[in-house]
Amino acid sequence: MSGPYLIRGSVSLPEAELLWRFSRSSGPGGQHVNTSDSQVELRFDLARTEALPEVWKARALERLAGRLVDGVIAVRASEHRSQWRNREAAAVRLAALLAEATAPPPKPRRPTRIPRGINERRLREKKQRSDTKRGRTGRDWS
């Protein structure tokens, strides 16, 4: 493994709280794939972790509620032929998922007003276009 996986700031995934499970993976690999456990499933107990600040944990539990099973989030990786690369991919995916779930909510949009001059110009141009189109009627033609 290439060290701690940062979620955001100085908060990282603790290696002791990660549960790894390996199984046989489908896909490329030839005869060797039938005997090696290259698929990786990474589990992280979000409800009981002490690594995240309480505010982040509450935010993540709320946002990931659909993906959690008893407070545990699972990420699976099987796109690579080697178990080591799949471990890396799963850990990076979990860190990215937690970073997105713990991000603060966006600032509320402050509504802006359209300047009066722009609105007047728009209405003046509409009136001018209306007059142009009204002038195209054939009522006065003989």
Residue-wise pLDDT for 78-137, tens only, equals 888 888 899 999 999 999 999 898 888 899 999 999 999 999 999 999 999 999 998 888
The closest of 73, 118, 63 to 95, measured between CA atoms, is 73
- Output the six-digit token pair for 131: 């007059």
Q: Against a cut of 0.85, is the pTM above it? A: no
Q: Give me the helices (H) in 1-140, please.
A: 54-63, 83-102, 116-134
Which backbone phi and psi does 22 adopt, to 5 degrees?
-120, 145
The closest of 2, 105, 6, 1 to 52, measured between CA atoms, is 6
